[in-house]
Amino acid sequence: MPVAVSAPPATATALLRRSLVRHRRRLVGSYALITAWMLCEALVPVVIGVVIDRAVATGEVLELLVWGAVLVALFGVLSYSFRFGSRLGVAAMLLETHLLRVEVSEHVLGPGGARTGLLPGETLSVATSDADTIGEFVWQIGYTLAGLLGVVVSAVVLLSIDVTIGVVVLVGVPLVLVVIQVVTPLIARHSSDQQAGIATATGIATDLVKGLRPLKGVGAEAVASARYRVHSAAARDASIRTAQSVGYMYGLTAVLSGMFLALVAYLAGTRALDGDISIGELIAIVGLTQFLAEPISGLGQTSAKVAASYASARRVADFLHTPALAVAGDVVLHAARPRLQLTDVTTGPLAGLDLAPRTGELLGVVVDDTACGDTIVRLVRGEIPADERTGTATLGGHPIDELTIDSLRSRVVVSQHHVDLFEGTLRSAIDPDDAVDDAQLAAVLVASGAADVVDLHPDGLQQPITSGGTTFSGGQRQRIALARALATGAPILVLAEPTSAVDAMTEQRIADGIQALRHSGTSDLTTVVLTSSPALLAAADRVVMVREGRVVAEGTHHELAGDDEYRRTVLR
């Protein structure tokens, strides 16, 4: 995983500035060539006017050849400057979009994770839609600079032909642009609302599709669909408001620029009729007037595009500054088989919890509240910093939140109740690093009960897995996830309800399999299982009962079976 060399920009302005700076070589070349193209566009009617006055009106062949050659050269520069300027600009735009997507992905998928609070679809929207909008910004700036210079050059040429017309252009263009900016704040606000609304709707839709099977199982499709409809309607309304704002801006631009250009053409026509300017100069003025329509329109649209880019940049900057999910320090742990210990921990539903698995032990943990189990998992993963709890959580004698991510994750592997499977093959899902030999993998498959999943498909371990593992049942996904956890051979393995979706017979096989794989002979591997499964608890060397956030009893499963509260928790 690449290491970030600097903190991401904290504000939208800083992020947009960085986008320009880190592609400055490409962008300087692109902007220079695009500006050259725009200037050539402005000079085309001027040169045509010169040809009319010096060659056509006078019949001078030499003048015709000279200025004809100038016109050909002008079109050559115009064509190639746009071609290569666009190539450089689009390359910078696409590269910036890619870098932003990588940065967002690394932030949320890195070892420390990200405490964003966003749904997966919302995160996807930040990495795609918002990144695209920011990428377009670096390309749009080139057109803006070229348009401004094109207007200035046109005004200078018009001043040299007729002072009145030149002054009208110099005053009129800024005036038109100032009036157009009236709707820019409206566009910025609506663009931000639109992006947020679309992200939320996308996130809900993604979760809805992903959880369609369990929703059908509990008959909650109508409730989920109604929730999506509400957010989808809000996103639709925000999009309509944005489109209306942009439409007002485009309409205002068209009306004002049209009136302005009509005024310039009228002044030029009256000057020609009065004999104050020549036919060639009239053609130059009319041509420049038509040319000005493009940069004026582009400059008017720039404000809207910059507003949208600013809104996206603010969302990306906020996302990149969300805190890490797992708190890490700089202490490197050297012990290969460290001991995990939670002492008098109070946080959330935990109230003075003491939990210390012994080396080589299969420890069962029974909780009366699933929130307690989730909090224990977060503690072990280093996701609860010291300032959010009291008591200590140590690994090998060092506070967990002071260890490096690698030190923690290489010693402690947590397999959570929620199962995530990624696209690939069954083999890559269980052993993504291809680090487990065939004999060891076979033992893992038997211990996890996943051998049945392999045997059911003709391709065995090479059978394809779709994103999310949607082709498997809940029990099959759970067994695959357990196999993945067991294949790591982690010194300390924490399993959260690993058999809640399998039948009783398979559950017993898994309990025997975990005991045989990790705790047979003189193994010093430690396994902590948060479960209410009698089969797993019976296989455990020791069981602790957590009630109201603290350990209230411990012993073997059979010793605790006489406790009414324990029996109700296990058999519920």
Could you state, in order of their start, the residue ranges of all structural domains in the chain? 12-320, 340-571
Q: Decide: 544 and 363 in contact? Cβ < 8 Å.
A: yes
What's the 3-state SS for 352-364? EEEECCCCCCEEE
| CA dist., res. 554 & res. 551, Å (int) | 8
Residue-level pLDDT, tens digit, the chain, 572 residues: 334 447 889 999 999 999 999 999 999 999 999 999 999 988 998 888 888 888 888 888 888 899 889 999 999 999 999 999 999 999 999 999 999 999 999 888 887 888 887 767 678 778 888 999 999 999 889 888 998 888 888 888 888 888 887 787 777 777 776 776 665 555 555 455 555 555 555 555 555 555 544 544 455 556 656 666 776 676 666 666 666 666 666 677 777 777 877 887 788 778 877 778 888 888 887 788 778 777 876 776 777 778 788 888 998 999 999 888 888 889 999 999 999 999 999 999 999 999 999 999 999 999 999 999 999 999 999 999 888 999 999 999 999 989 999 999 999 999 988 888 888 999 999 999 889 999 999 999 999 999 999 999 899 999 999 877 878 888 899 999 999 999 999 999 999 999 988 998 999 999 999 999 999 877 789 999 999 999 999 999 999 999 999 999 999 999 998 888 888 888 76
The class (CATH top level) of 12-320 is mainly alpha
CATH homologous superfamily for the domain 340-571: P-loop containing nucleotide triphosphate hydrolases (3.40.50.300)
| CA dist., res. 6 & res. 320, Å (int) | 12
pLDDT given for residue 181 in this prediction: 60
DSSP codes joined into one string, 150-218: HHHHHHHHHHHH-HHHHHHHHHHHHHHHHHHGGGHHHHHHHHHHHHHHHHHHHHHHHHHHHTHHHHHHH
pLDDT given for residue 157 in this prediction: 85
For 455, other C-beta atoms within 10 Å of its C-beta total: 10
DSSP codes joined into one string, 393-421: EEETTEEGGGB-HHHHHHHEEEE-SS---
pLDDT given for residue 350 in this prediction: 95
Q: What is the CA radius of gyration of the chain?
A: 34
| CA dist., res. 143 & res. 62, Å (int) | 37
Classify 46 as helix, strand or coil: helix
Amino acid code (one letter) for 360:
G
> Which residues partner with 551 through β-bridges?
546
CA-nearest of 386, 380, 375, 378 to 546 is 375
Residues 6+ positions from 10 with CB-CB distance below 8 Å: 317, 321
| CA dist., res. 430 & res. 542, Å (int) | 28
Amino acid code (one letter) for 508:
Q
pLDDT given for residue 212 in this prediction: 47
pLDDT given for residue 183 in this prediction: 55
pLDDT given for residue 215 in this prediction: 46
Secondary structure E strands in 471-549: 492-496, 526-530, 542-547
- Reading the block at residue 344, the tokens are 């008098």
